[in-house]
Amino acid sequence: MKKDEVLEHFVRITNGKFNCCSESFRTISNGYFFIAKQNGVKNLIVIAKKGICDKFEGEKVGVIDIEKKDLDVLVCPRNHHNLVSLREFFPNLSPVTCNKVTSFGTGDRLGLATKAHANAFKGKEFFPVFAQQSVRELSRTKRTWRDVLDDASWGVFQSGFEGAFGADADHVKSEKDLEEAFNEGYTMFTIDPSDHVNDVSKANDREIQELYYSAPNRSELERLYLQKAYTILNTRLVFDEHSLFNLIAEYGKALEHVCRCYENLNSRTRRFDFEVSIDETEIPTTPLRHLFIALELHRKGVDFNTLALRLPGEWQKGIDYIGDIEMLRKELTLHFEIARQIGGYRLSLHSGSDKFSVYRTFSNVCHGQFHVKTAGTSYLEALRVIALCDPDLYREIHVFALSRFAEDVASYHVTTDLSRIPNIDHLSDSELPSLLDMPDARQLIHITYGSVLTAQDKDGKFLFRERLYNSLSEHERDHDRYVESHIRKHLDLLSV
């Protein structure tokens, strides 16, 4: 039976109480599955033989005769149990490792954006990483690894997306977090060793020497690298005594940490994507630093897939690149050539949201072989919809964000100037969405997301969270349209 006929049957037996999401419709032999919404709540609808229905938790609401077969009709909650059952029939709802040279991560702090993300990827030659969240984001939103992956998988199902996708446990700093994400089915692990990196620019000669001479493998490193030179695109990179001292002092403990994380994962599975992130430091990743890190990781047997560098310029959250694009191009060209010559990995761009002025440069220099991560930008589009459709709620959130910014900004490197944000009391409702086009206002909203989502009154009731979710549910089409358009703009500019 055709999709439209099945949906008509369902609407008829439920007396029109549900709005069916036709794009989610999927079939197997003796079974039909789709999402339907009732009173703002999305449900999984299963129309199938009893043996199939028995795998799902839900309420039987009737029987439909389809092609001379009586099929039970279940209305099921979108919970973890039902998702696991659904994956038995549709394996693409489980994340896998990356199978393309070009990939793109779409963080979703609310758990509502994956349907729009998936629609943005249709027709694009990118491997999508739909479930991407950092440990910091989990902490600030009070979500779990399971929450993030389940929300992404349900979004994939509702969108009708039939391709593969990945799940990235982002900026993991501890083996405990690594193991928890692995146990929930994540396929990509981004290790952030920044807590183990020593900023030698702030150390004196005695402190640097102590770090250097305490390195357990110092003699071996001297034998391997001291006075060794590499030529990269006519640029000579030399490990002289001073640079090698600094490199070992800076990254020695960080590389040991990365190795421990890799060995932990490798003891559990042979199929995972492994990213090393050295961008969360004040130390720019010079070509010599990149060369040392990549050579050492390979020498130690760490088969990493992507490497995130601290590139020149300002890569601030939620706004465009600040810096000399030609200088970036020259430096990036050296980095790409180092990666090409060493082999086995791609460059990864973090804080990749909204860097529209450099996407063409980045993509062309890397010959389309890269990974890009975005996170807060979809949250900003959600707040744009709130400003557009629920201005009173946006005004409350904006004022609260101003009160929280000084504390929340402590863990970010940004140059936000709150004085450049217009007084919201002087703006009409129709002018509110334009705030999300202003760099300072974008960063205000971007950085305070955790406080906004978790703030409670004296009785323990959320100040904004439930109203925010209810409003976005009511205006789901607007939300999906804005998020899809915004992510597609990223993908269009990155496409070679």
Task: Read off the pLDDT of residues 241-254 as tens digits, 9 standing for 90 and up.
Answer: 999 999 999 999 99
Separation between Cα atoms, residue 444 and residue 418, nearest integer Å: 8
Separation between Cα atoms, residue 453 and residue 210, nearest integer Å: 45
Tell whether 120 and 246 lie within a shared domain. Answer: yes
**Who contacts 308 (Cβ-Cβ below 8 Å, separation ≥6)?**
190, 275, 276, 277, 278, 279, 347, 348, 349, 350, 373
Tell whether 268 and 192 lie within a shared domain. Answer: yes
Tell whether 388 and 370 lie within a shared domain. Answer: no
Largest interatomic CA distance in the chain: 85
Residue 281 has pLDDT above 90, yes or no: no
**Who contacts 449 (Cβ-Cβ below 8 Å, separation ≥6)?**
109, 140, 141, 376, 379
pLDDT band at 204 (very low <50, low <70, confident <90, very high): confident
Catalytic residue among 170, 184, 192, 331: 170
Residue 182 has pLDDT above 90, yes or no: yes
Average pLDDT, stretch 81-101?
A: 98
SS3 100: coil
241 a catalytic residue: no
Last residue within a domain, chosen from 40, 66, 89: 89
Residue 415 has pLDDT above 90, yes or no: yes
Tell whether 317 and 403 lie within a shared domain. Answer: no
- Percentage of the chain exceeding pLDDT 70: 100
Last residue within a domain, chosen from 67, 89, 111: 89
- Percentage of the chain exceeding pLDDT 90: 93
Tell whether 208 and 73 lie within a shared domain. Answer: no
Last residue within a domain, chosen from 30, 55, 89: 89
CA angle centred on 36, ends 481 and 86, rounded to 5°: 100
Average pLDDT, stretch 108-119?
A: 99
Tell whether 32 and 50 lie within a shared domain. Answer: yes
275 a catalytic residue: yes
- Closest alpha carbon to 111 in 82, 88, 85, 78: 78
Tell whether 197 and 285 lie within a shared domain. Answer: yes
Tell whether 369 and 420 lie within a shared domain. Answer: no
pLDDT at 217: 87
* Segment among 15-24, 35-44, 240-249, 470-479 with least mean pLDDT: 240-249
Tell whether 439 and 307 lie within a shared domain. Answer: no
Tell whether 57 and 126 lie within a shared domain. Answer: no
SS3 188: strand
Which of 212-217's residues contact partners 24+ apart within 8 Å by CB, and which partners? 212/245, 212/248, 212/249, 215/248, 215/249, 215/252
Tell whether 365 and 400 lie within a shared domain. Answer: no
Residue 441 has pLDDT above 90, yes or no: yes
Tell whether 373 and 387 lie within a shared domain. Answer: no
Catalytic residue among 168, 250, 275, 331: 275
Could you give the number of structural domains in the chain? Answer: 3
- Write the CATH number for 121: 3.20.20.70
pLDDT band at 206 (very low <50, low <70, confident <90, very high): confident
Give the pLDDT confidence of 44-70 residue by residue, as tens digits. 999 999 999 999 999 999 999 988 899
> Tokens representing 442?
């974008």
Structural domain span for residue 43:
3-89
pLDDT at 315: 95
